[in-house]
Structure 1
Amino acid sequence: MLYFITIIILLIILYMSLKPKKKEKIIPLEKVVIPTLWHQILADNVLFYKKLTHKEQQLFCAKMVYFLDVTNIEAIHFKLEELDKLLIAASAVIPVFRFPTWHYANLNTVLIYPDYFDEDLQFSSKTEGRNIGGLVGTGRFENQMILSRKALHLGFQNKTDKGNTAIHEFIHLLDKADGVIDGIPAALLDKQFTIPYLQIIHKEMEAINNDKSDIRNYGGTSEIEFLAVAGEYFFERPKLFKRKHPELYTMLEACFVK
């Protein structure tokens, strides 16, 4: 009797493994319905979007619609507003806008806190050491991103500081696409460029640590943070970045402009 039960279980497992999997239904971007209010909100708040052509803006919004459709956004201890969601979606789309197709397979939820938080994710005004604006979750927070609402908005309000916390964290997710966050965007950069890329970033990190660079100091702490910090600068102030760091600009262009 046990023999026959075992055979039946094995047959069921075999059937399930051979059964065609239901494909995720993806709506073509050109058929996505874009809320009419989005354009003005984005034009007022997202400089990257404002500089796009009308056709590119439509594509940008369509990619945002898709991101919001597949990603859960949860506000912790405050009421989520439309602008919060749009800024998160814009932050997600900006680094991959030039990619024909991209889905953040390593993200399903964005948790947004009202303020900066500490390493224990405490954000009360009574908590000391609240200086974290965003992070990519690990462990029980795997496939999640945690953002400070204050840092999210500041990243778009200040258009001259070369920084944007949310874009920084989405670049970490791109870095993680090959399975590990190591500062080497293997999923974006052709293999033959890896050594030249490392040579350039080590030279730039040395300049940062010797106070001879306008790239934010945090970029000098590790290869991981260098990629995210330089990426912020690349998207926030592209013309200045190209003028100040032509070699690095060319390398990041190879990563982000497909």
Structure 2
Amino acid sequence: MNIFTLLFSAALLSLIAWAIYRSFRNKNVYAVPPAFPEEWRSFLLEKVNFYKALSPSEKLRFEADIQYFFKRVRITGIGLDVKDEDRLLVASSAVIPIFAFPEWEYSDLMEVLLYPDFFSEEFEFKGHNRGISGLVGTGGAIDHVVIFSKPALWMGFDNRTDKQNVGIHEFIHLFDKQDGNLDGIPAVFMEYQAVLPWLHLIKSKTDEILSGKSDLNSYGALNKEEFLAIVGEYFFERPRLLQKKHPELYEALSSVFKTDLAKRMND
């Protein structure tokens, strides 16, 4: 077998493997309605403040983004049946951080798993040491997967005063990861000259957290990637409060996510 035959065979195998991967990734076991159901729209108005604050034309785009997400990403229940309302909260969590980027998608995400409760590092949702509410899979069998505790996912949208939303939190991690690094610096979406000021801001706000002089979630002091995720939750959940208490942080996040939420959302 000569070198050209080997190269052709390798290319053909790669093409077949890619086709299988695409087929598997796009396999949709959920029949997405061609028209957005009115009951879905009512549910979003009740549960998702971000959607509620959008203009009529923006609402239509948000709905289209949800339908597209359903067509691309499987949502699977582990030990539970997944309802349309669960799917809508998962998809809303995904759409919110990237709404200002219409051409962008979570290209590496294949599946979202919903667990019936908080889970452990061994992915057990029964027994002891179950404190995890959400997780972005990295490597191995859980690569291209996001896992949520269903009760925690719902709590993020039910409680509108705690500045926390695990759904948004985990999808901000994927947003951050788009440049290849999960490091709290969303370089793809951040101007180069803004990176150093952002790092200084992380340092000063982390110092405030560690000294007990901040209302930011203490989990944000763990590392830069968790800082971005927890302040991102705050930004999308309570934008006016964030602007009032942390104006410099609010301005930085408005630039990153390309939206000035304090002007439109009621905390």
Question: Does the pair score TM above 0.5?
Answer: yes
Q: Distance in 2 between matches of 1:55 and 1:188?
A: 24
- Tell me the residue number matched to 2:124: 122
- Tell me the residue number matched to 1:132: 132
What is the CA-CA distance between 1:139 and the residue it aligns to? 1.9
Q: Deviations over 1:133-182 (max 9, x none)?
A: 00100122111101100100000000110000010000000111111211
What is the CA-CA distance between 1:100 and the residue it aligns to? 2.6
Query: What letter matches 2:69 in structure 1?
Result: F
What is the CA-CA distance between 1:257 and the residue it aligns to? 1.1
Q: Cα distance 1:10–1:199, how it changes in 2: closer, same or farther (>3 A)?
A: closer
- Tell me the residue number matched to 1:218: 219
Query: What letter matches 1:120 in structure 2?
Result: E
Q: Distance in 2 between matches of 1:9 and 1:183?
A: 43
Alignment pair present for 1:54 and 2:42: no
- Tell me the residue number matched to 1:243: 244
What is the CA-CA distance between 1:94 and the residue it aligns to? 0.5
What is the CA-CA distance between 1:99 and the residue it aligns to? 1.3
- Tell me the residue number matched to 1:29: none
Q: Cα distance 1:9–1:48, how it changes in 2: closer, same or farther (>3 A)?
A: same
Provide the secondary structure at the position in 2 that maps to 1:112.
strand
Query: What letter matches 1:40 in structure 2?
Result: S
Alignment pair present for 1:78 and 2:80: yes
Aligned-pair identity (%): 44
Query: Which structure 1 residue ranges, 5 or more long, are not aligned?
Result: 25-31
Deviates more, 1:156-165 or 1:7-16: 7-16
Q: Decide whether the 8 Å contact of 1:106 with 1:177 is kept in 2.
A: no
- Tell me the residue number matched to 1:102: 104
- Tell me the residue number matched to 2:31: none
- Tell me the residue number matched to 2:114: 112
Could you say which structure has the larger radius of gyration? Answer: 1
Q: Cα distance 1:243–1:12, how it changes in 2: closer, same or farther (>3 A)?
A: same
**Counterparts of 1:8-27 in structure 2 under 5 Å?**
8-11=5-8
Deviates more, 1:132-141 or 1:229-238: 132-141
Q: Distance in 1 between matches of 2:12 and 2:120?
A: 49
- Tell me the residue number matched to 1:28: none
Q: Distance in 1 between matches of 2:129 and 2:77?
A: 22
Q: Cα distance 1:7–1:175, how it changes in 2: closer, same or farther (>3 A)?
A: closer
Query: What letter matches 2:200 in structure 1?
Result: Q
What is the CA-CA distance between 1:129 and the residue it aligns to? 1.3
**Aligned residue among 14, 36, 39 for 1:37:** 39
- Tell me the residue number matched to 1:165: 166
What is the CA-CA distance between 1:52 and the residue it aligns to? 1.4
Q: Distance in 1 between matches of 2:238 and 2:162?
A: 8
Q: Decide whether the 8 Å contact of 1:174 with 1:187 is kept in 2.
A: no
Aligned residues: 243
What is the CA-CA distance between 1:37 and the residue it aligns to? 1.9
Provide the secondary structure at the position in 2 that maps to 1:187.
helix
Q: Distance in 1 between matches of 2:237 and 2:36?
A: 25
Q: Deviations over 1:54-95 (max 9, x none)?
A: 221111111111111100111001111110000000000010
Q: Distance in 1 between matches of 2:9 and 2:147?
A: 40
**Aligned residue among 39, 63, 66 for 1:64:** 66
Q: Distance in 2 between matches of 1:180 and 1:234?
A: 22
- Tell me the residue number matched to 1:229: 230
List structure 1 runs of 4+ shifted beyond 4 angstroms. 11-18
Q: Distance in 2 between matches of 1:14 and 1:114?
A: 43
C-alpha RMSD over aligned residues? 2.1
Q: Distance in 1 between matches of 2:222 and 2:14?
A: 46
What is the CA-CA distance between 1:8 and the residue it aligns to? 3.6
Instruction: Tell me the TM-score normalised to structure 1 length.
Output: 0.88
**Counterparts of 1:174-193 in structure 2 under 5 Å?**
174-193=175-194
Q: Distance in 1 between matches of 2:12 and 2:170?
A: 41
- Tell me the residue number matched to 1:257: 258
